[in-house]
Amino acid sequence: MSRIQVHKVHVEFGDCDPAGIVWFPNFFRWVDAASRHFFRACGVPPWFETAKSHGIIGTPLVDTRASFQRTASYDDDIEVHTSITGWGNKSFEQTHRIMRDEVLLAEIVEKRVFASRHPDDPKRISAVPAPPEFRALCE
């Protein structure tokens, strides 16, 4: 079982649509931030450091799916509970459960890869296996 990291978010007025409901792309923005905060909390250095030490420039998103259960609104305090729920050869699955108190608002599952610059064309990126020490920190 992977560790679970909690990223706290305070919903602002500008996060909502005219009906006062959080506009759904904001959930993806918060989940993207929670993904990086997860790695930092596990002890994985910032990407600008891993680029120098391991050639890893980040963990781009390659697939996602979302299930929205309840709405959130202005002035809500919510939490994004993030864990890695599966490891592949060059990819991993990260699950984000967005909660308000004990109420599940949404669940977003992402498939991400560890990425390096492509060896033949530095304008491109390539998926690479997760460094074993990074994986150990996250489990």
Q: Cβ distance 22 to 72 under 8 Å? A: yes
Task: Tell me the average pLDDT of the chain.
Answer: 95
**Which of 138, 73, 66 is closest to 100 using CA atoms?**
73
* 129-139 mean pLDDT: 92
- Active-site annotation, residues: 17
What pLDDT, on the 0 to 100 scale, is given for residue 111?
98
What pLDDT, on the 0 to 100 scale, is given for residue 36?
96
> pLDDT band at residue 1, thresholds of 50, 70 and 90?
low
* 34-38 mean pLDDT: 97
> pLDDT band at residue 4, thresholds of 50, 70 and 90?
very high
Determine the Cα–Cα distance for residues 35 and 82; give it in Å rounded to an integer: 7
Q: Is the pTM of this model over 0.75?
A: yes
Fold observed for domain 5-138: Thiol Ester Dehydrase; Chain A (3.10.129)
Q: Cβ distance 79 to 9 under 8 Å? A: yes
